[in-house]
């Protein structure tokens, strides 16, 4: 009789075990049918402190490995500027690298996927053969939100082509001083224009659904998470010094620098990056009132807040002087993910110690991790963590290059065209006896792309695939029209040759961030000499390739035409399209063009506003009056028109004198 009793007991025990195992296999966070908040709550409840702090840690790919991901529960990896798996790496090489890291993350106890980020700030610009679009300063001149939305769509596809689901873009700084080295990353000095350009988020992440809850991230399938940066006031630092102090009252901060964040949040932006700079002496990376109090609480942003590169280190001066304090101040201010990017063990150890000592609360950690998980769940990373070659053919796609060419055309601003309205110089004839092309930027793809192109600082020469301005001119003119290129011709060269006209292409060298801070804003040598030599000898059109307005007034009387081309990217053909009349000039200045750097800072509406060319200025072919975009109210437009007319009249008086 004992044997049956044991058998029934064993059977009952087995049934209980199977029931427990079945329950263990089901986890709500793994079920895509469950609401996102339910999945977050379930997963948070299963996580250890080590797993939570790991999610808050972002490391650079150069120190990452599958084992590091698994052992430290790392939540994110990034490629810094120019950090690539190999020179001229193919999409397959990128995807294999990203997937190798991802497999390490998936091998952890809970299998939480990591998110890989990259600075795709004007196309997937770190990647060889990608389409590089004009920098934001040029896109602002287009006044075309639909265009930037389409650029966002193309960029998302080219980022996905490399297996990456997250870009640190767009920069929505309102640059108030062109001496700032990041001014080309800003769409305009006018927050209204910047607000319009936030439509790029809809291209990167997808159209936000009707009745979507404000502040909640939205990323459609096969799109990429975007990042509005740098919160807040980075474009208003004193004297345009990068990472410096923005001295401003509350009305100015909320009225000038904050509005683009309102729009970005309404459009479902997934992440926000904190600025290196300070507001009235307080480092933004430690600014609880603005990061938690305003961004999270008042604007109801529910994505995650990420630091900048070594951003918390720079809370102290010198940077890293008291790293434990920096971790405490940054996390308690409201930063959810820390771009470490190298010494991740120190960050993890310090954060863990601060939580154990109750200096950082567990509720603050849970808030950070909840926000990170919300973005990952929203993106579908848990269901589709691994990339494949499905989008590989999107990199540098012909249609994307045509879009970039369109963007170049629409970004060009015609500042001068002849010395009188009845003696216009542009468009140029395609048939001529001989054309001279001169200048340091005419045959240099790296120069026309600017910073954040293949390398962090950009480069010179054939850094990637694209069309130089010189090659574009050659392909546009008639077959029987010879085009001669001389980078910096001297007087004897000019006397020996008989040219119909010249196109001089000069500008700034590539730069990024603090390296670009510049109090002189002069054209790269020997650019001024090239203008003087060539334009004194024959009629010329000058094309300026730069990330901001530069000193040009002294040379203006010498030239017949002046075109601001900004930093056009890889598709130089767009410049020739407009110079030779296949398309008209439609771009309007998104920045005030100063007469002298002594006037800076100077923005539209300032009492001392006396520009060479005002905000909104832009000539059209066969028109004596500047054209203006319709992005302002009628009253503003009339006011700008008055300034434009006065400026044009003053310029003509100077020329006649």
Catalytic residue numbers? 308, 513
How many Cβ atoms sit within 10 Å of the Cβ of residue 479? 6
Chain-centroid distance of CA 12 in Å reads 62
Q: Which two tokens stand for residue 536?
A: 């004194």
**What's 246-264 look like in SS3?**
ECCCHHHHHHHHCHHHHHH
- Report the interhelical angle of 36-46 vs 362-379 (nearest 10°): 130
49 to each of 55, 187, 507, 602, how far by Cα in Å?
A: 10, 41, 52, 50
* H and E: helices and strands count for the chain: 22, 17
**Angstrom distance (rounded) from CA 535 to CA 541:** 8
Cβ-in-10-Å burial (0-12, 13-18, 19+) of 607 comes to exposed
Residue 248 in contact with residue 191, Cβ under 8 Å?
no
**Angstrom distance (rounded) from CA 54 to CA 196:** 37
Task: Return the SS3 of 649.
Answer: helix
- Going by their DSSP bridges, the two strands 271-274 and 227-231 should be labelled as parallel
Beta strands of 260-363 (E only): which ranges? Answer: 271-274, 278-279, 282-283, 304-306, 338-339
**Angstrom distance (rounded) from CA 542 to CA 396:** 29
631 to each of 176, 192, 648, how far by Cα in Å?
A: 19, 8, 21
**What's 122-137 look like in SS3?**
CCCCCCCCCCCCCCHH
Sheet holding 304-306, edge to edge: 227-231, 271-274, 304-306
Beta strands of 13-158 (E only): which ranges? Answer: 57-60, 76-79, 115-118
The closest of 543, 416, 455, 435 to 497, measured between CA atoms, is: 435
């Amino acid at each position: 009789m004992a044997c049956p009793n044991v058998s029934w007991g064993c059977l009952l025990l087995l049934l209980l075990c199977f029931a427990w195992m079945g329950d263990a296999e089901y986890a709500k966070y793994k079920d895509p049918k469950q609401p996102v908040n339910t999945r977050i709550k379930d997963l948070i409840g299963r996580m250890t402190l080590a797993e939570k702090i790991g999610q808050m840690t972002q490391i650079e790919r150069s120190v990452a490995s599958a084992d590091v991901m698994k052992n430290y529960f790392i939540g994110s990896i990034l490629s810094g500027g120019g950090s690539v798996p190999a020179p001229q790496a193919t999409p397959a090489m990128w995807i294999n690298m990203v997937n190798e890291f991802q497999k390490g993350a998936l091998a952890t106890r809970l299998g939480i996927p990591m998110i890989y980020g990259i600075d795709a700030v004007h196309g997937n610009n770190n990647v060889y053969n990608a389409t590089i679009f004009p920098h934001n300063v040029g896109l602002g001149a287009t006044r075309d939100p639909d265009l930037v939305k389409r650029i966002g769509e193309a960029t998302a596809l080219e980022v996905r082509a490399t297996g990456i689901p997250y870009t640190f873009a767009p920069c929505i700084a309102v640059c108030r001083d062109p001496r700032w080295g990041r001014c080309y990353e800003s769409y305009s000095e006018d927050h209204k224009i910047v607000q319009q350009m936030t439509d790029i988020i809809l291209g990167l992440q997808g159209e936000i659904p009707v009745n979507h809850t404000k502040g909640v991230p939205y990323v459609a399938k096969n799109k990429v998470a975007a990042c509005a940066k740098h919160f807040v006031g980075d474009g208003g630092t004193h004297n345009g010094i990068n990472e410096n102090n923005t001295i401003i009252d509350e009305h100015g901060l909320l009225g000038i620098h904050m509005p683009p964040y309102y729009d970005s949040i309404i459009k479902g932006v997934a992440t926000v990056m904190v600025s290196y700079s300070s507001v009235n002496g307080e480092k933004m990376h430690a600014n609880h009132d603005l990061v938690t109090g305003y961004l999270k609480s008042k604007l109801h942003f529910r994505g995650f807040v990420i630091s900048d590169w070594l951003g918390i280190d720079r809370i102290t001066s010198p940077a890293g002087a008291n790293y434990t304090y920096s971790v405490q101040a940054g996390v308690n201010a409201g930063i959810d993910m820390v771009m470490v990017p190298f010494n991740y063990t120190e960050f993890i150890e310090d954060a863990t110690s601060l939580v154990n000592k109750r200096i950082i609360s567990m509720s603050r950690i849970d808030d950070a991790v909840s926000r990170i998980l919300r973005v990952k769940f929203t993106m579908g990373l848990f269901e589709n963590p691994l990339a494949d070659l499905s989008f590989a053919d999107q990199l540098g796609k012909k249609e994307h290059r045509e879009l970039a060419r369109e963007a170049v055309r629409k970004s060009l601003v015609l500042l001068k065209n002849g010395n009188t309205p009845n003696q216009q110089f542009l468009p140029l004839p395609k048939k001529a006896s001989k054309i001279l092309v001169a200048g340091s930027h005419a045959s240099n793809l790296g120069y026309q792309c600017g910073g954040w192109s293949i390398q962090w600082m950009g480069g010179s020469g054939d850094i990637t695939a694209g069309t130089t301005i010189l090659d574009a001119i050659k392909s546009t003119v008639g077959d029987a029209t010879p085009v001669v290129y001389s980078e910096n011709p001297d007087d004897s060269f000019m006397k020996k040759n008989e040219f119909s006209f010249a196109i001089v292409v000069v500008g700034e060298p590539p730069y990024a961030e603090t390296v670009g801070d510049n109090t002189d804003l002069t054209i790269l040598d020997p650019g001024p000499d090239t203008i003087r030599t060539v334009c004194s000898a024959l009629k010329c059109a000058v094309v300026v390739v730069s990330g901001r307005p530069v000193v040009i007034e002294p040379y203006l009387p010498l030239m017949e035409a002046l075109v601001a081309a900004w930093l056009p990217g890889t598709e130089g053909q767009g410049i020739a399209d407009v110079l030779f009349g296949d398309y008209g000039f439609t771009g309007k200045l998104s920045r005030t063009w100063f007469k002298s750097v002594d006037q800076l800072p100077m923005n539209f509406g300032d009492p001392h506003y006396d520009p060479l060319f005002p905000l909104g200025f832009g000539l059209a072919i066969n028109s004596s009056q500047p054209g203006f975009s319709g992005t302002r109210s009628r009253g503003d437009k009339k006011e700008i028109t008055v300034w434009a007319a006065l400026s044009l009249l003053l310029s003509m008086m100077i020329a006649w004198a």
